[in-house]
Amino acid sequence: MRARAAGLLLGYTADRLLGDPPRFHPVAGFGTTATALEHRLYADSRARGVAHTALLVGGAVALGVVVDRRGPWGAAVTAVATWAVLGGRSLEREALAVHAHLAAHDLPAARQRLTHLVGRDTADLDESEVARAVIESVAENTSDAVVAPLVWGALCGVPGLLGHRAVNTLDAMVGHHNPRYESFGWASARLDDLANLPGSRLSGLLTLAAAPTRAGVAARTWRRDAAAHPSPNGGVVESAFAGALGIRLGGTNTYDGDRIEHRPVLGGGRAAHPDDIARSTVLARRIGLGAALTAVVISLRGPLSRRPRRPLG
């Protein structure tokens, strides 16, 4: 367990210092494999989608089992896997890149850069809506791409890290509400909801700890607003962020030019401002550090083992 804890902490540190590798990222290779398998398996069918998800996630977990090590190389293997699956530093860079365009009063450039973070249409967004979209992405992806993988890494080691990233990547690829993926992507979307359930709740709690002066407001916002969000996990972390930052999130989003989604308003503060983007990245950074330390504690305690009971009498 010490090797796992050390590997998680080293991998988290590598992500903070380096971010994603600019070329030959393992996740890109997984995406290429997933696309190739989709071409062979695709049908407008939940059963085909289940097979697609099972093969890819099962393959990622199996690879994790093969490469996981208990000996002297265990920490190094876990560190590399952790670095490969975390996305906190790159998320921060993308968010701050949008903020830089807004600070330079270049709204068209901010809208274009925002497409790196969100799937909604960005061409007609004003500054406040661009800021809202960035903060929502920072909140949700801090949970999905930092906290949740660390939790699964602490619980299950390298298989947990790779399996979670496979689930999360598949959801981003096929877990969409559109004619092509409504049925085929159903399994990936539901499995992603399940896999991110513990991470989102821990993210909510870490948000309260990371913003102690706003913890009460964030907790009340979480309790009041989270369930109205269409995602069982996104609602938790976005509502906690809204309360912690003293802003409103949610509202109307447009996808693919004609699909309009009216999301509930989260939080009772003012509309998002461009400067709130930088504040959200500071909050996300604190949450990530809290998640890394929590993962270390879980790893050292051995969460999947039970203490032996003393005999009676």
Q: What angle do CA 123, 128, 129 make, to 5 degrees?
A: 45
**Do the beta carbons of residue 156 and residue 178 sit within 8 Å?**
no
Provide the pLDDT for residue 306: 47
**Tokens matching residue 204:** 């909510």
pLDDT band at 292 (very low <50, low <70, confident <90, very high): very high
Q: How far apart are CA 41 and CA 56, in angstroms?
A: 12
Identify the CA nearest to 120 among candidates 312, 285, 258.
Answer: 258
pLDDT digits (tens, 9 = 90+) for 38-89: 999 999 999 999 999 999 999 999 999 999 876 668 899 999 999 999 999 9
Model pLDDT for residues 218-228, shown as the tens digit of each residue: 999 999 999 99
Q: What's the confidence (pLDDT) of residue 248?
A: 97
Q: Give dist(CA 297, CA 74) in Å, integer.
A: 17
Q: So what's the pLDDT on residue 72?
A: 67
Q: How far is CA 88 from CA 14, 94, 164, 198, in A?
A: 11, 10, 15, 18
312 — pLDDT class (breaks 50, 70, 90): very low
Strand, coil or helix: what is 260?
Answer: strand
What does R_g of the chain's alpha carbons equal in angstroms?
Answer: 20
Mean pLDDT, the chain, rounded, equals 93
**Are 16 and 88 within 8 A, CB to CB?**
yes
Evaluate if pTM is beyond 0.95: no
Domain spans, the chain: 2-301
Residue 211, pLDDT > 80, answer yes
Spatial CA neighbour of 13 closest among 123, 146, 198, 135: 146
User: Is the pLDDT at 94 greater than 50, yes or no?
Assistant: yes
Q: What's residue 313's pLDDT? A: 40
Using DSSP's 3-state secondary structure scheme, residue 125 falls into coil
CA-closest candidate to residue 234, choices 158, 147, 301 = 147
